[in-house]
Amino acid sequence: MSMRALINFRIIASVIVILIFSIIIAVWQARVSVEKEVRSSINLAVQMIEFGFDHLSTGSEQKHAWFEKIATMQPARHLNISIENTKRSTVKGESHYQNPEENAAPRWFIKSVMADFLTHNYDMEIADGSVETIFITADPMDEINEAWGETKVFFGSIALMLSVIFFTVNLVFNSMLKAVKAILSGLRQVETGHFDLQLPHFKISEFNTIAMEINGMSRALKNAQTNNQALALHSMKIQETERQNMSRELHDEMGQSLTAIKAMAVTCQQPKTDVKAITDSIIKICDHLSVVVRSMMKTLHPLSLSELGLGATLSELVTEWQRRNETLCFDLEYDPSLESLSDEIAIHVYRIVQECLTNVVRHANASKVEVLINKDADQVKITVTDDGQGKQFNPAGFGLLGMRERAENLGGQFHIESIENYGVKVTVELPYWEDK
């Protein structure tokens, strides 16, 4: 069921409930009003008859004539009057009330409002010994018709009010639907990758708040997309640079060394050659090649990580940086319980620490750097702090973006704090996965 159908259904259900209660209240009030009016008319008629009877002379004929006039006069409102005599025939008054068909109340209303007809008997003894009985019977149709007219006005007012409310609610709902459709259209465009979309301003504050949040999300996704594209391009450039460097090293180092070894081997075939000197040179060249190959392998992947463990590999990394930068003090604290860490997480820990130390050496102008790696619950926590110059990273460099990507792709978190002249603190949390 759509929202419009649901709201209309609830409005109609509410209208029906209101009408039912209104009918019950209106009928009850009409019934009470009719009953009060009829009782009041009967009491008034009885008082008038008693008052007139008390002021008559004692003559029997005069009283009888007075009774007949009461019976034959046009009846009072809501009343029919008749007289019975124990010695004479009954004299009844004729009702002159007419109930026009167009103003008549419907039968269901009459049955709901009509109580039992109220009849009042009034006995008077005449001087000749006869008893005159005056019957005053209620005829509330006039009052019922008036109540019906008031009820119709009442229901007409309620129907008009409910119609206005229904129309107003639908107008408001139409504007809400337009806003909802615009928001849904915007979300579909965001879903398809169109992050440039900006929703317009809405008059309804709640929808405007939603639109602002969606616009903020679009901008964030656009920035993330831009950063990811830049990071991907940077990664490709790094790969190409590394391949060029490796090709150059292979050509310059290994190519030249192999050429030299081949030349020396050819020389050894000549008579009167100093074989020992040539073999010593070949050994030196091979040692140099071993260093070059080890350096290249370490660049591609640190073999010591799988052979010696994460702690020894990090210690070797810090020692190498200390050897290159004697003025910078390196302090490494490592939790030995992390030795059971899976290789998949261990390589990311190593690369993050490597990137942090590279940034410190290149940009921090620091005198001390502390590296703390420990296990915190089910996480590996990496904290690298330096006392360098600090700066605002806006926008962040590719190194920071790369570390953030590593952490978030693994379901971890990356946080950096930088205070000018007080240094930088990088905190990374990665999931703790053990080797199986």
131-175, pLDDT tens digit by residue?
Answer: 777 777 776 777 777 778 888 888 788 888 878 887 888 787 787
Residue of higher predicted confidence among 374 and 235: 374
Sheet holding 379-386, edge to edge: 329-334, 368-376, 379-386, 423-431, 413-419
pLDDT confidence of 353, banded at 50, 70, 90?
very high
Q: Is the pLDDT of residue 435 over 80?
A: no
The residues spanned by each domain of the chain are: 3-93+101-167, 301-436
pLDDT confidence of 68, banded at 50, 70, 90?
low
pLDDT at 276: 83
- Return the closest-CA partner of residue 309 out of 291, 335, 272, 273: 335
pLDDT at 429: 93
pLDDT confidence of 376, banded at 50, 70, 90?
confident
For the record, the structure tokens of 43 come out as: 């009491």
Q: Which CATH class is domain 301-436?
A: alpha beta
**Rounded mean pLDDT, 44-73:** 62
Instruction: Return the residue matching tokens 């450039």.
Output: 237
Q: Is the pLDDT of residue 109 over 70?
A: yes
pLDDT at 90: 47
Q: Is the pLDDT of residue 320 over 70?
A: yes
- CA pair distance 92, 202, nearest whole angstrom: 78
pLDDT at 396: 63
pLDDT at 53: 63
pLDDT at 373: 93
Residue of higher predicted confidence among 411 and 436: 411
Main-chain phi, psi angles of 394, to 5 degrees? -140, 100
Q: Is the pLDDT of residue 296 over 80?
A: no
Highest average pLDDT, of 96-110, 269-283, 384-398, comes from 269-283
Q: What percent of the chain shows pLDDT beyond 90?
A: 10
Q: What is the mean pLDDT of the chain?
A: 78
pLDDT confidence of 426, banded at 50, 70, 90?
very high
426 contact partners, CB below 8 Å, separation of at least 6:
356, 382, 383, 384, 385, 403, 414, 415, 416
Prior bond to 302 cis, omega within 30?
no
pLDDT at 52: 66
Q: Judge contact between 195 and 221, C-beta under 8 A.
A: yes
In 10 A of CB 424, how many CB atoms?
Answer: 24
pLDDT confidence of 96, banded at 50, 70, 90?
very low
pLDDT confidence of 330, banded at 50, 70, 90?
very high
Q: What percent of the chain shows pLDDT beyond 70?
A: 79
- The DSSP code sequence of 342-375 is -HHHHHHHHHHHHHHHHHIIIII--SEEEEEEEE
pLDDT at 256: 80
**Rounded mean pLDDT, 21-43:** 80
Least confident among 89-103, 303-317, 391-405, 417-431: 89-103
Q: Is the pTM of this model over 0.75?
A: no
Q: Is the pLDDT of residue 268 over 50?
A: yes
* SS3 category, 79: strand
pLDDT at 110: 77
pLDDT at 94: 44
